[in-house]
Amino acid sequence: QLQLVESGGGLVQPGGSLRLSCAASGFLLDYGVGWFRQAPGKEREGVACISSSGGSTNYADSVKGRFTISRDNAKNTVQLQMNHLLPEDAAVYYCAAEYLGGCQRRIAMQHFEYWGQGTQVTVYS
């Protein structure tokens, strides 16, 4: 039902910033949204999430203080602002959505029904 499209990935130097965006075909405010990433040879991991109510956010320990997830309701999008990027942040980043979903401290893939195609983030020096 819900189509998701990520954008904003690209090449960035360590210490740089990128803003990823997740656009949806439906009303994204009705969905909890998570950002996940997968690097070559590694398992997909949860990075950040925001509840459908917008009242809760959670972050992986590895990105706390550097990444911020937020909603831009006027654009019907969810953003992931990534600052102070590290080489280990390089991955394909995916947004995912769960209808009326919350946002638990453990950001688990199995809770999310809809997934985007991913956008590549490359961190190089």
Spatial separation of the C-alpha atoms in residues 84 and 13, rounded to whole Å: 9
User: What would the pLDDT profile of 101-119 be if each residue is shown by its tens digit?
Assistant: 999 888 999 989 999 999 9
**What amino acid is encoded at 52 in this protein?**
S
20 and 80 in contact (C-beta within 8 Å)?
A: yes
| DSSP state at residue 62 | T
Residues 6 or more apart whose CB falls under 8 angstroms from that of 20 comprise: 6, 7, 8, 9, 35, 79, 80, 82, 93, 95, 119, 121
Give pLDDT, residue 71: 95
User: What would the pLDDT profile of 50-85 be if each residue is shown by its tens digit?
Assistant: 999 878 999 999 999 999 999 999 999 999 999 999
